[in-house]
Amino acid sequence: MHNSSSPDEQGAKQERFSRAGFIFAAVGSSVGLGNMWKFPYITGKYGGAAFFVLFLICIVLIGLPIMIAELAIGRGGRGNAAASMRRLSGKPLWGGFGLLAVICAFIIMSYYSVVAGWTVHYMLISFVGTLFQSTDYAGVFGDFIGGWAPAGWQLAVMIFCAYITGRGVSSGIEKFNKLLIPAMLILLIVMMVRALTLPGGSAGASYFLQPDFSKLTAASALAALGHAFFSLSLGMGIVLTFGAYVDRSQSLSQATFAVAGGDVLYAILAGLIIFPTCFAFDIEVSQGPGLIFVALPAAFASMPFGAFFGGIFFLLLAIAALTSAVSILEVSVSYAIDRWNWPRRKAAAIVAAACLLYGLPSALSAGGTVPGIMLGGRSFFDWMDFISSNILLPIGGLAVTLFAGFVWKQAASEAGLTGRWAGIWLFMLRYVAPLLMLLVFIHSMGWI
Ligand code: PHE
């Protein structure tokens, strides 16, 4: 059925999350490798607990207002990211910004699926025990990502995510997250108890929980802001896309608090696993990417029942990665359904296949499997990460804030905010958030 408006504006979305279902799905999206891996190591790098306090402030001041804005745009527009912004403004330019978010989401999925695949592989080799047969964990990791297996795992992740999104909003995405998010909480608690009872573990917990503000620098403030944004899955069209499936009767601000609270809770639990483990085994927390795949396996190898706890740890990572991956695939699937008028299953299958094709060079370049996929000293994988996280994501975030702050006049009423709260919200969206995001962008480009 075609109408005269632009092709990505067809029919308003009819699918809906249940109230709790939406919270679970949004927490599933926000709790990802960002919480489990990036948060601990940047916290270690930028000053421990003091950085964490800064991160919380950024979540409240910038994260919450932008999340409410994305949800309001999605629910007001009832379309994919591009259609909602075009419909509410009546201007193709804003649809263009929405489309940019869809493209950003597609690119992120193309390489996030690679890392998600690594976590599934590590979960299996950890449970089976083969991971612990050697002591050269850097070598094991290098051989793995430099081989062909990552492409196979990427295929598996993609098929899985296409299956979940293909099943639909309530019987796919919602059901999947309602099952896994509580399961994840239990596993996190098991791991936390294990980590805190390691000899020397409590020193790690106090490093994480006792702020020393003298360690803070301007760079840590910008990193905290950037991470608050990434951790809540903002700027990549996810929350906006989910907003289209939220019922009118659900309070957007309450939902936002619940989701941000969930995200922070899971980050704290992850910190209470990683820091004690690192302190107990004398591992440098701030070492970056190698931390979870190289340093932590060594720690698991030397603790009783290490294969079991290592397996649980990588299972946690895999769940975190897969629930995020499902949400990011949905951004493009939602777009394809409207744009080409495809049934959901077909859209999920085609989008996932396209993303797999586009993401193959990432799977094969991260560890140098095919040595030629390098450009200007960066692998294809690193380029995709750089273009999406450092360029498209800030543009998407900026577009959303300015759109809800200045362009779409009904934003506050759709968000359910009136009086003073509406005033504060609009002030944050108009002036504070754009300015800070511009600073993060300039910093991430290395200009300051
Ligand atoms: N919030 C997610 C995380 O912490 C960010 C993300 C979501 C990344 C979806 C990719 C896909 O990992």
Residue 4 is predicted with a pLDDT of 45
CA of 106 to the centre of ligand 1 (A): 13
Ligand 1, atom nearest to 320 Cα = 12
Residue 6 is predicted with a pLDDT of 57
Q: What phi and psi, each to the nearest 5 degrees, are found at residue 80? A: -70, 175
Alpha helices in 250-343 (DSSP H): 252-280, 290, 296-301, 306-340
Residue 387 is predicted with a pLDDT of 92
Q: Which one, of 220, 227, 151, lies nearest residue 389 by Cα?
A: 227
Backbone Cα Rg of the chain: 21
Residue 3 is predicted with a pLDDT of 44
Task: Look at ligand 1, atom 4, and give the residue with the nearest C-alpha.
Answer: 34
Considering the entire predicted model, what is its pTM?
0.94
CB–CB of 338/80 below 8 Å?
A: yes
Ligand 1, atom nearest to 33 Cα = 12
Cβ-based neighbour number of residue 409 at 10 Å: 9
What DSSP letter does each residue of 353-419 carry, written as one string? HHHHHHHHHHHHHTTTSSTT-EETTEEHHHHHHIIIIIIIHHHHHHHHHHIIIII-TTHHHHHT--H
Q: What phi and psi, each to the nearest 5 degrees, are found at residue 216? A: -75, 145
CA of 4 to the centre of ligand 1 (A): 36
Candidate from 230, 265, 384 with most ligand 1 atoms within 8 A of CB, to mutate: 230
Residue 336 is predicted with a pLDDT of 97
Burial 194-203 (b: 16+ CB within 10 A, else e): bbbebeebbe
The CA distance from 128 to 107, in Å, is 33
CB–CB of 254/87 below 8 Å?
A: no
Task: Identify the bridge partners of residue 342 per DSSP, sorted by sequence position.
Answer: none
CB–CB of 28/326 below 8 Å?
A: yes
Q: Kindly list the averaged pLDDT for each block of 10 residues, start to end, along the chain of length 448.
A: 51 93 97 90 86 93 96 97 96 96 97 96 94 90 95 98 97 97 96 94 90 84 89 95 97 97 96 93 81 90 91 96 98 97 97 98 91 81 90 92 97 96 97 91 82
Cβ-based neighbour number of residue 268 at 10 Å: 18
The CA distance from 336 to 269, in Å, is 37
Residue 7 is predicted with a pLDDT of 54
Identity at 313, one-letter amino acid code: F
The Cα diameter of the chain in Å comes to: 69
Alpha-carbon distances of 235 from 68, 101, 280, 386, rounded to whole Å: 12, 7, 37, 15
Residues with CB under 6 A from ligand 1: 29-30, 32-35, 108, 112, 230-231, 233, 324, 327-328
Residue 440 is predicted with a pLDDT of 84
Candidate from 27, 29, 332 with most ligand 1 atoms within 8 A of CB, to mutate: 29
DSSP 8-state assignment for residue 32 = S
| Secondary structure of residue 446 in the 3-state scheme | coil
